[in-house]
Structure formats: C-alpha cells, structure tokens
Chain A
C-alpha cells in the first residue's frame, strides 16, 4: 500500500467506498471507453462512424463484442438513466431484453423492450462495422477465433471483407487461417475480370475440399438455358472441370474413410456386446440368453451411479465401469451357481433356463425402475467432433467406443493369457477331467468364468447407456446380434469375435448408403446365415469343451 502515490490511494479509497474493486488503470481505460460509447447517444450517422473508429482504436477488451452487438442491432440506451447496454441475442420479439454491461461484459439483469432505445445503424455504417469486426476477429491473438472469423467472412465476401482479407494475409502466421484467407481471396478473384488471376484462383481452389468451394467451381461449368456456357473463358472452364474432379476424388476418399470409421464404431459395439458371450458361450458352451439382461443391469448401474453423484458426470462413468462389472459378475455367478451348473453339457436346456432368467431380470428392472426409459447423461468430453478438414470429421463418442472396446478386449485377453484364472479357464475348457486331476477346482473355475463373461456384459452395458435408451428392453435388442458375432467369428475364439464383429459392422455401413439401415441389417443377417452353411464352425474354428459337447 505504501508505494501507491497519494492520489492513487485516495482514488482507491474512493473505489472501496463505492464498493467497486477494479484495478486503477483499467478503470481509467474503462472510463474512456464508456465515454466514447456514451457519445453514440443521439449522434449522427457520420459521427457514429467516427466513434466506431475511436472505439476500435481504444484497444479495450470488450470492443469486439460491443461492435458486433452494434452491427447486429443489439446495442441499446436505457431510457431511465441513459446508460448503454448490449442485449443478448434472442429470437423472441416479445420477451424482455436480457442485458449485458458493455464494459465488464457481465450480466446486467433484464429490461422491458419499451424502456430501451436501440442505437440505429444505416447501410454505410454497417459496412464499416462489418469490416471492423472482421478485422478484429482476424487480428485476435487466438488462432481459433481467427479461424472462425475467416470462415465467417467466407460466407459473405463483399468488397470490404475482401479488402480485410488482403490486408491480413501478409501478417497471418497460422497455416490453417492462412488457408481459409487464401480460399476467400481466390473465391473473390473468380468474380473478377483478370484472366490470369482467375486461373490462379481455380488452381488454388482445386486443393480445397469443402462442398461450398466445389459448388462454386461447378457453377463455372453450368450452361445457360440456351445451351451456351455461362462462363465464356474456355481455359477457366477446363481448369474448373479438372479442379472439380480432383475435389470430388478427395471428398470421396474422405467419405470412404468416414464410412470405414462408422463401420468400425458399429463393429466395436457389436464386439463389445459379444465378447462377454464369447466367454460364456464360446468357452463354456452355455447359451446365455440372459446376456442382454446382464448388459441392461450394467446400463442401469450407470444410471444409479450417476444419480448418486450428481454434478460429476465424467467421474461417474469412471466409477460406473468397475461397479457395473461387479454387479453383473455377481448376478452371473448367482445364475451359474443356482441354475447353470445343473445343466452343463446340455446347451439347449441352458438356452431355455437362461431365457427364463432374462424374463425375470426384465421384470425386476420394471418393478424397481418402472418400464420407462431412464436418461443417462453423456459427459461433455464425449460430445462434439474431431474435425480433420472440411470433408472429414469424426464424432468423439464413436471414437471413444472404438477405444473402449479395444481396451476391454485387450484386458480380457490379458486376463485369459497372463493370469492364473485365465490359465485355469483355458485348462478346464480344454480338458475338464485332466484339469481336475491336476488339482484345479473346476466348479470354482466355472463360476469365475461365467462371472467374468457376465461382468464384461455389464461393462458393455455402461457403453450402451451412452449410445441408446436405458430401458428394460435394452438387452433384447442386442442378443441376436451378439450371438451372430460369436457364431460368425468361431465359437471359443476371442479374436474371431473381434474380427467377426468389426467386419459385420463395416459391411453393414458399406451397404447402408445403397439400401438403407434396415435392409443392410437384413442383408448382413442373411449373408451370415448363408456363411454358416458354408463354414458351420465360423471364421476361426476351435476345439474345446464347447466343441466336445456339440
């Protein structure tokens, strides 16, 4: 405190007295800014132009927001105290305006429309404003804002915007923003008359992949109703034709990548719902019709965990995964101990009994949670898209499901190949009597194996809760798919399930554009039925306990 000059200290005291705790220098710049803003009241359009220039020269942090609001007719004077406010954008013409303080950009309550007077603009003023705002955006230190500003300008390429772009291109350092600016300049040059510049522009544009650019180039190739080309210059037409075809091939390449990715993500879901079954059906030879209901339990566990810890959606998923594993595994072990152990070697009987279990579990969920679907929230980091370029963007939730499946698959493989339990499971599945003779408690291993498969079903349920509605019928809709994956991949083979599920997903998505989603699914099912006739043992046949009992 001691180092403050006398006047500053007095001002500080004054500020405390006023109840405002702002730094001194900001205060003075705020005051200047507010003063300039205040002059807008009742100024002529010519004066307003000058004021806008002064505002933009002030360097105040909220200049851009104020000018944007001014451009969009959202700058108001409050009649009662002549203060200036920004109104938040809104569609409702009748609702009261919600106000924002132009200096601090904090909410300043709301006011009825008739108490507010709009600060008017005319065409000339709006042009000045638009250029100023764009220039502000383009000179922002944050490249992301510059990119947005450049993209925004591409949508309305008028003279003023083009001038700004031309001004900024030399100073721009970020490659992405530079590319957008070049695109804008090239699009503008196309409308000009300089032949060489137009040819250069077409060449620049041929390296872009957005659909807007493609359509602009394609319009150069259109014919008028009389049959003559609208574009008179033949060289430009030729260049445009080759540019369009190059853009098209780029775009179809990215479209293929996207389809592949969609296929992989669908395949991941299939693999995820099937690998638990690959254990129970594949390794143990038990047809577990309650597998879908174990997934449903996992999904409901996610819901319960999320309800128990509101406000921590992201963390709740992390808690839900092990919880769902334990809940489903416990249920699985219960089913194994009470029912399935009496039915080993009789797979058709396990089908009927576990189907009964699935009905009971469904009704249990209906009794506890009601028959209505429960909504499970998606954490913020799972929504949104990963944008590679104009033609390719991948949604995060699909990306995560692929990753999640691979992780679960990897862990399961690790358990089976590297742990004592995995060794026991494989031993019992290959030769039960010999394993027992070696001192392995085979019925304990049975229970653990079934628990492991069920637990993975529960984990799959956590993933499904993020993708579909969580309701009593969640499991039923996946049970046939999961059996098909296991049978297709080869019973008792985890890698088969992975490859089978992924290829089913990809084929499904490849067919979808031609046939629609439902027909694609029907085709895949029929193709699988035919495939099994050719190779009844699936893609990767294997021997084991399941093979013996068959």
Chain B
C-alpha cells in the first residue's frame, strides 16, 4: 500500500507536523525561538483542511474525470453543521443570554428553535450531519446528473450554479443560518475551551489524522478494482459503458464519498478559524480548489495536498507582504500551470527525477475531458 513515494512522504510529514506542533507549542516556552505560536498552529490547521478538500476534488477529477466546481459548497455545508453544534454549545453565554436560541435568532425575534436545529446540541448527531448533509446533496445531485449523462463542462457549470444557489440561500436571514454574518464567537467544543492552546493542538492533531485517513482511504479506492474502472471512465467513458460497467454508479458513489470528505474538511476548518459565513460558498472558492489540485498535480492525491498547502502559503505570504501582487500572481499561476505544467508540480518533479523510467507508465497523459 505504501509503495508510492509521494504518499509515504506525505504521511511522514503529517506525523512530523502533528508531533512537532504539539511539542513546540505546548512544551517549549514562548520565550524560546523554537516556540510555535497558536497563530501558526491555526494557519497550519487551515492549510491541512484545504489539503483534505483538495484531495476530495483530486479523487473525482484526477481519477474519474469529474470536474466539480461545487466542492466549496460541500465544504461549507460540513462547516455549517459544525457551526450549528458550536452555536448550541454557546448556550446562555451569548450577548442576549438566551439559554436556547443563538444570538441571531433572538435578534430576529424568533421564539423557538427551527426544526432543523434540533439535535445539533449532541456532538454525535452534528458529527454525523457534517458528512451526511454534503453526501446527501451529492447523492441527489449526482443521481440526477450522472443518470442523464450530464458530463464535462456541463457538469462543471451545473455544480457551479448549485453552489451559487446555495450561497444566495444562505445569505438570507430567513434561512435560519445567521444570514450574511454566519456563525462566529464560538466558545467551546466538547466542553474544552476553543481558545486554549491545548484544544488547538488537539484540533490540529485530529486534522492531521483525518488528512492521513483520507489519503489512505482514497489510495485504497484508486488502487482497488473500482479505482481502475474509474480511471477507464476518465479516459474513455463510452467504451467503459460498452464493456458493461455501470458508469453512473461508479461516478455517483465516488462523488458522494468525495462530498462527504469535503464536508468533514469543512467541519474541521470551522472550529480552527472560528467563523463560517455564506462567503465560503462563493463559486470562486471552488475554482481555487481546482487550481490547487492542478498546481500540485492531479491524479496523485499527495500532489493535491501539496498544491493546496503551497498555494495557500503563498496566498498568506503575498496578501500580507504584497497585497497588490497576489491576484496577479494567482492569475498568472492559473495560466502558466494550465499551459506549461499540465501534470502540476509533482509531474515536474517526476519528470526531473525519473525522466528515463517514465515511458510506458504515464497514466495522466490523456486529458480528462470525457
């Protein structure tokens, strides 16, 4: 299973990050040069959530040829499920001090909790919903779309419209999700103070674990028989169908799995950044995820994670150091990667390292347009 070098490196980095962050943040005193601040911890946690999202996109795009421009929506739905749990945990500590209703509902003069908020005071229920809601949406959407053979560009535009519609819906105050302010001012999770360093470290560790688990699960899937069918769907959908495979089922289930992973990534993201609002649904976010995958190299899984982390690190750096330049740089990155690096950075590294061995095992040379 760990015959792939990139995957091994990724898992090793994850272990190192988890252990390193825990030790350097908690055990090393703040005065030391080696101390890792909570800010950095949060940043790393955020990147890892993005990496998980990117992996979810890579699974369906890189291996099955489905370019989803709606994964930010699945990510946000998971985030909202976590946000609802965290809002209920605030309890009477809100500004208005209502024991049951979150502040924004008191502000809107609501008298009771809407039905879809019931149960979110239990963590197990919220945790289930974090994956179930995005998965259910993906199931319904995917069932409709794949059954009627909406593919390629059309599917991309449809997923984009879906996430746009969701964004508009979540901006409405009447929806009961806090309107354009979303959820914020969280206090604690499972009884632990969210602002405490130890909680932060645990959250980061959980994120590392989740990313590692995602990688292993995705690797299992793509290495399995089903994974090979997926690749053949990507490369020649009609031919696969004529050979007797139920193309729609394969696509549907991998799409649902990918949406659930995106939802969990979103759920881990919210307690670390401390806010979720409808802006997360914005179509541009979904497109950015695709670019992380493209930069890292699609169809590798670890490449997607690397791309997400690298691009986001660059974003953090540029937006604070040279805010004017960031959009130019990101735009140029999109253009240059598409034109000159169709296999991303991992493809480049492979090319540099093993140029002579590569012949014959090039899985990605065919384009995944369907």
Residues of A within 8 A of B (CB): 287, 289, 339, 342-343, 345-349, 351-353, 355-360, 362-363, 366-367, 476, 480, 483-484, 487, 518-519, 521-522, 525-526, 528-530, 532-534, 536, 549-550
Q: Which of B148, B154, B324, B332 has the most CB of A within 10 A?
A: B154
Stretch at the interface among B47-55, B283-291, B303-311: B283-291
Taking a contact as CB atoms closer than 8 A, the residue among B144, B154, B334 that contacts A352 in the complex is B334
B334 x A355 contact (CB < 8 A): yes
A346 touches B367 (CB 8 A): yes
A357 to B333: give the CA distance in the assembly, Å.
10
Check if B158 sits within 8 Å of A352, measured CB to CB: no
- B168 in contact (CB, < 8 A): yes
The answer for the CA separation of A448 and B168 in the assembled complex, in Å, is 37
Would B157 and A484 count as touching, CB distance under 8 A?
Answer: yes
The residues of B that contact A480 with a CB separation of less than 8 Å are 160-161, 164, 283
* Residue contacts A-B, CB under 8 angstroms, 8 given: A343-B338, A355-B287, A480-B160, A484-B161, A521-B168, A529-B165, A532-B154, A550-B152
A287 contacts across to B, CB distance below 8 A: 153, 156-157
Interface size on B, residues (CB 8 A): 48
Q: Do B331 and A347 touch (CB < 8 A)?
A: no
How far, in Å, is A362 (CB) from chain B's closest CB?
A: 6
Q: Which residue of A lies closest to B153 (CB)?
A: A347
Q: Are B334 and A353 in contact (CB under 8 A)?
A: yes
- Residues in A with CB closer than 8 Å to B283 are 480
Q: Name the distance in Å between A184's Cβ and chain B's nearest Cβ.
A: 45
Complex contact B327–A347 (CB within 8 A): no
Residues of chain A within 8 A of B149, CB atoms compared: 536
Question: Nearest Cβ distance between residue A471 and chain B, in whole angstroms?
Answer: 15
In the bound complex, CA of A522 to CA of B161 (Å): 9
Binding site for A on B (CB under 8 A): 67, 141, 144-145, 147-154, 156-158, 160-162, 164-165, 168-169, 171-172, 283-284, 287, 290-291, 294, 324, 326-328, 330-335, 337-339, 342, 367-370
- Which one, A356, A367, A536, contacts B335 given CB within 8 A? A356
> Which of B172, B334, B339 is most buried by chain A, counting CB atoms within 10 A of its CB?
B334
Within the complex, which residue of A339, A348, A483, A550 is in contact with B67, where a contact is CB–CB below 8 Å? A348
B323 CB to closest chain A CB (Å) equals: 10
Shortest CB-to-CB span from A289 to chain B, Å, is: 8
Give 20 A-B pairs besides A352-B290, A359-B334 with Cβ atoms closer than 8 angstroms: A342-B339, A348-B153, A348-B156, A352-B294, A352-B338, A356-B333, A360-B331, A363-B328, A483-B161, A487-B158, A518-B168, A518-B171, A519-B172, A522-B165, A525-B168, A529-B161, A533-B145, A536-B149, A549-B369, A550-B153
Q: Given A351-B153, A532-B150, A550-B153, are A367 and B324 neighbors across the interface (CB < 8 Å)?
A: yes
Contacts of B328 in A (CB 8 A): 359-360, 363
Contact across chains for A348 and B287 when beta carbons are under 8 A apart: no
Q: Which of A363, A476, A529 contacts B284 (CB 8 A)?
A: A476
Chain A residues lying within 8 Å of B168, measured Cβ to Cβ, are 518, 521-522, 525
Given the complex of chains A and B, what is the CA–CA distance between A348 and B338 in angstroms?
Answer: 10
Contact call A347/B334, Cβ cutoff below 8 A: no
- Cβ of A529 and Cβ of B338 under 8 Å apart? no
B332 A487 Cβ-Cβ under 8 A: no
Determine whether the beta carbon of A525 is less than 8 Å from that of B152. Answer: no
Our pick among A347, A360, A483 for the contact of B152 (Cβ within 8 Å) is: A347
Known contacts A348-B369, A359-B327; is A483 also within 8 Å of B287 by CB? no
Query: Inter-chain contact count A-B, CB under 8 Å?
Result: 127
> Could you say which residues of chain A place their CB within 8 Å of the CB of B324?
363, 367
Do B150 and A358 touch across chains, with their CB atoms under 8 A apart? no
Complex: chain B residue closest to A480, CB-CB:
B164
B338 touches A536 (CB 8 A): no
Complex CA–CA separation, A534 to B147 (angstroms): 10
* Contact status of A525 and B334, CB under 8 A, knowing A533-B144, A549-B369: no
User: Once the chains are docked, how many angstroms separate the CA of A12 from the CA of B169?
Assistant: 78
Contacting residues, chain B, for A534 (C-beta < 8 A): 148
The answer to whether A353 touches B144 (Cβ under 8 A) is no
Q: Quick check: A363 and B331 within 8 Å, CB to CB? A: yes
Q: Out of A348, A356, A357, A529, which one reaches B158, CB within 8 Å?
A: A529
Q: Which residues of A contact B334 (CB under 8 A)?
A: 352-353, 355-357, 359
Q: Contacts A352-B338, A522-B168; is A528 near B161 (CB within 8 Å)?
A: yes
Contact of B331 among A356, A529, A550 (CB under 8 A): A356
Are A357 and B156 closer than 8 Å at their CB atoms?
no
* B290 close to A533 (CB less than 8 A): no
A353 contacts which chain B residues (CB < 8 A)? 334-335, 338-339
Question: How far does the alpha carbon of A359 sit from the alpha carbon of B333 in the complex, in Å?
Answer: 10
| Distance between Cα atoms of A388 and B169 in the complex (Å) | 37
Contact B369 A529 (CB under 8 A): no
A356 CA to B326 CA, complexed, in Å: 12
> In the bound complex, how far is the Cα of B330 from the Cα of A549, in angstroms?
28
Docked pose: A349 CA to B291 CA in angstroms: 10
**Alpha-carbon distance between A363 and B319 when the two chains are bound, in angstroms:** 13
For B338, the chain A residues whose CB sits under 8 A away are 343, 349, 352-353, 356
Q: Let me know if A487 and B335 touch, CB within 8 A.
A: no
Residues in B whose Cβ lies below 8 Å from that of A526: 165
Identify the closest chain A residue to B337 (Cβ).
A352
- CA of A354 to CA of B103 in the docked complex: distance in angstroms? 42
Cα distance A534–B156 when bound, in Å? 17
Name which residue of chain B comes closest to A517, CB basis: B168
Q: Which of B150, B283, B331, B342 has the most CB of A within 10 A?
A: B331
Task: List, in ascending order, chain A residues with CB within 8 A of B161's CB.
Answer: 480, 483-484, 525, 528-529
Of the candidates B152, B156, B157, B326, the one having the most CB atoms from chain A within 10 angstroms of its own CB is B157
A536 to B155, CA, bound (A): 10
Contact between chains at B150 and A339 (CB < 8 Å): no
Q: Cβ of A352 and Cβ of B291 under 8 Å apart?
A: yes
Q: Report the nearest B residue to A549, measured CB to CB.
A: B369
Q: How far is the CA of A534 from the CA of B144 in the complex (A)?
A: 9
Complex contact B169–A522 (CB within 8 A): yes
Residue of B nearest to A484 (CB): B161
Are the C-beta atoms of B158 and A359 separated by less than 8 Å? no
**Contact A358–B154 (Cβ < 8 Å):** no
CA of A509 to CA of B165, assembled, Å: 17
A338, chain B: closest CB distance, angstroms: 9
B280 to chain A, nearest CB (A): 16
**9 cross-chain pairs, A with B, having the tightest CB-CB distances, nearest first:** A356-B334, A359-B331, A360-B331, A363-B327, A525-B165, A356-B335, A353-B338, A356-B331, A533-B144
Quick check: B330 and A359 within 8 Å, CB to CB?
yes
Q: Please give the distance in Å from B61's CB to the nearest CB on chain A.
A: 9
B335 contacts across to A, CB distance below 8 A: 339, 353, 356-357, 360
